[in-house]
Amino acid sequence: MEANLFLLIVDIDECVENQHFCGERGICVNQLGSYLCKCPTGFSNYGNRQTQCAELNCDQYETQPGQTLPGFDSWSLLRNNCLVLSNSMLPGLTRLLPTGDVLLTLLVNTTDVVQLGLQSNGHRSSSEVTKLLRTIEISFRLIAPLLTENVTRIETNHTEVEIMVRRDKTPPEGPVSLTNENTQLDTTWETVVGDDQNYPGYAFVILLSHKNLDSLKDSTSHQSQQLMSSAVTVSVSNSNTTYLPQQVNLTFHHLQSSDVDPTCVYWSDENGPGVWSGRGCTLVMSNSNQTVCSCNHLSTFTLLNKVQQGSGQLSLVMWVGVFVALTCVVLSLITTLWCRFVSRKRRGGHRLQHEVQLHRK
């Protein structure tokens, strides 16, 4: 009895102390020496009892004809996962959900198959590439907060993923670096978190490398436009990444050592089905083995050998062709005129025969 009284006296009501613990919509419940956050329907803290409740939009996992990738059949699983997470009326069901690791393996396995499908399809359309990348992006937003390890890596035949998750009470700070076989990402936790007023109690950063480059070729561009490195997708818990206050740096190892000047590009799908674009990315350093790019937004990035140079080579071939053709025309004109001139000097009857002989040559 005495001990209980003592505990009651020292218990601090965290919910009164800090209104932000559970987010704007979360309900803070004080407990002896602790607290927990209850999330209203449509919100979740991914089973972490003490973090902010973030809004979940499960409609984005709806299979819409023409909007999602054929072959990606994990949508219903993701949607169910989302619905259970966002409904606190079903707390018991959370235990039945597949873990973050299982969902991640499924996603990576599926994108592998889809990439293979796009490749064997021959004529990959830009919009299919866009769908694949969007699918990966929105799936990771659901899966990453469910991962329990600080660092998770998965590698398959066509995909290599590294995910780093932090669950600190306060937003983490300082540099963060992720690497895989051919690429390195350098950024800061400040960029990963974004607006720290809305810090949901976790932060994640993802570096996904697409090893099957062919499926990411932009079908509308010149044949001469070639990827000089792997393509990588970078995703972070901050969802406002169209203009970052601080640039992220990507170091690409060239697939083959090359002295061609590369261009840093990202997959742009804002206006149309999708195309490689250099907007917002600058080249920091390049040698024959590697190139460092600095970009002010997040997306899927790669290196192209210079676009202008590609079309320049094409038109050079064209001009050489035109020059050769014109030279032939001029030469044959001169030959014909010269023949006429010569044969006119000769006497009468053999003229016609002579000309025919010359033409046969």
Residues that bind ligand NAG (CB under 6 A): 102, 105-106, 109, 150, 157, 166, 168, 186-188, 240, 243, 245, 247, 249, 257, 284, 287-289, 294
Measured from the CB atom, is 138 or 292 closer to ligand NAG?
Answer: 292
Measured from the CB atom, is 49 or 166 closer to ligand NAG?
Answer: 166
Measured from the CB atom, is 246 or 315 closer to ligand NAG?
Answer: 246
Structure tokens at 307: 């676009």
Report in angstroms how near the CB of residue 361 gets to ligand NAG at its nearest: 55
Question: Which residues have C-beta within 8 Å of that of residue 206, sequence separation ≥ 6?
Answer: 140, 144, 161, 162, 163, 164, 178, 233, 234, 235, 236
Question: Which residues have C-beta within 8 Å of that of residue 252, sequence separation ≥ 6?
Answer: 182, 183, 228, 229, 230, 262, 290, 291, 292, 293, 302, 303
Write the DSSP assignment of 140-192 as a string of letters: HHHHGGG--SSEEEEE-SSEEEEEEEE--SS---SEEEEE-SSEEEEEEHHHH
Cβ neighbours, 10 Å, residue 118 = 23
Report in angstroms how near the CB of residue 211 gets to ligand NAG at its nearest: 11
CA dist., res. 262 & res. 288, Å (int): 10
| Residue in the structure block whose two tokens are 């005129």 | 337
CA dist., res. 311 & res. 322, Å (int): 17
Give Cα 336 distance to the centre of its chain: 62
Report in angstroms how near the CB of residue 233 gets to ligand NAG at its nearest: 18
Report in angstroms how near the CB of residue 56 gets to ligand NAG at its nearest: 18
Measured from the CB atom, is 2 or 259 closer to ligand NAG?
Answer: 259
Measured from the CB atom, is 15 or 283 closer to ligand NAG?
Answer: 283
Measured from the CB atom, is 287 or 353 closer to ligand NAG?
Answer: 287
Cβ neighbours, 10 Å, residue 65 = 6
Report in angstroms how near the CB of residue 187 gets to ligand NAG at its nearest: 5
Report in angstroms how near the CB of residue 271 gets to ligand NAG at its nearest: 20
Q: Report the sign of the C-alpha dihedral through residues 58, 63, 65, 68, in that order.
A: positive
Measured from the CB atom, is 296 or 343 closer to ligand NAG?
Answer: 296
Report in angstroms how near the CB of residue 181 gets to ligand NAG at its nearest: 15
